[in-house]
Structure 1
Amino acid sequence: MKVIGKHLTVDMYGCSFEVLDDLEFVKNAMITAVKEANMTLLDFSSYKFEPQGLTALALLAESHISIHTYPELGYAAVDVFTCGDHSRPDKAVAVLKSFLKPEKTKTTNIKRGDFGAEKDMKPKVSVSIAPLRRVRNTGAKVLNFLRAK
């Protein structure tokens, strides 16, 4: 199966409390990211938590962008999933970084739908021989000890 979509998950650390707790600011950042990344916004939904934090979702023709904020930690969890070749999820992430201004980020790039070669789909079993050897050696030591008596 070929790659169906690109999925970027981004952990943003060291963001300002005020930015992460401002629903209108985050909504503006997401809508700007959608436009700049050549995506099509179908719907926008959000929820503001009390005393702080929010969740925002941009439903796209290409898939979605979501943000979950934890202002008390200065942390935002960002998810950008797109299908098709015309959208640019990396550009959307860059725009969101420019708005949220994290001190540090961790980005994971996932190719959705790509199973690789057929051999990659089979479970991999890893067996370590060292523990078995230790058990055998211990057993031999016990037998030698008992024989000596």
Structure 2
Amino acid sequence: MTTGQEWLVDASGCSPGLLKDAAALAALFEELLVLLDLKVVGQPQWHVFPEPGGITGLTLLAESHLAIHTFPEHGFAALNVYCCRPRTRPDFESLLARHLKAASCEVRELKRGVMA
């Protein structure tokens, strides 16, 4: 039995402009919330770093959290999705290509709290 699952997503070849656009990142989070049927707790937090930096975003969920860290100077975004209940894996490659113009994605899935 597992108590949760986590996806660690590295997106490369992203549009630097989109990696600095909080509205674009919020739209990505919104689509993930709908796809995974997640419930937001409180207000999402977005921190915009000075040039050439990107954005760090965090949304607390009843099921755990969504987090992203962007690096426009490298065309890279690191996305973390952690759910305390099993969910079907979203098509991260398509989502990040559409929202951030990612050229490639590496997705690692972890089972959390594995109990015998």
What TM-score bracket applies, with the shorter chain setting the length? 0.7 to 0.9
Higher strand share: 2
Q: Which runs of 5+ in 2 are unaligned?
A: none
8 A contact 1:33–1:92 mirrored in 2? no
TM-score, normalised by the number of residues in structure 2: 0.87
**Relative CO higher for 1 or 2, CA cutoff 8 Å, sep ≥ 6?**
2
Question: Would the aligned equivalents of 1:33 and 1:95 in 2 still touch at CA under 8 Å?
Answer: no
Which structure: larger Rg?
1
> Residue in 2 aligned with 1:54?
55
The answer to whether the Cα contact below 8 Å between 2:9 and 2:78 also exists between their aligned partners in 1 is yes
Structure 1 gap segments, 5+ residues each: 117-149
Query: For the structure 1 residues 92 and 46, does the alpha-carbon distance in structure 2 shift closer, same or farther, using more than 3 Å as the test?
Result: farther
Distance 1:80 1:95 in 2: 16
Q: Distance in 2 between matches of 1:32 and 1:79?
A: 14
Identical columns (%): 30
Q: CA RMSD in A?
A: 1.8
Cα shift readout 1:91-132 (whole Å, capped 9, x = no counterpart): 27356423123111111110001155xxxxxxxxxxxxxxxx
- Residues 1:104 and 2:104 aligned together: yes
Q: Deviations over 1:57-90 (max 9, x none)?
A: 11111111100000010000000000124x44x2
In the alignment, what sits opposite 1:15?
14
Once the two structures are TM-superposed, the CA of residue 36 in structure 1 deviates from its matched residue by 2.1
Task: Tell me if structure 2 keeps the 8 A contact 1:9–1:79.
Answer: yes
TM-score by length of 1: 0.69
* Alignment partners' CA distance in 2, 1:115 and 1:76: 32
Greater CA deviation, 97-106 or 42-51?
Answer: 97-106
4+ aligned runs moved over 4 Å, structure 1: none
Amino acid at match of 1:70: F
Q: CA deviation at 1:27?
A: 1.2
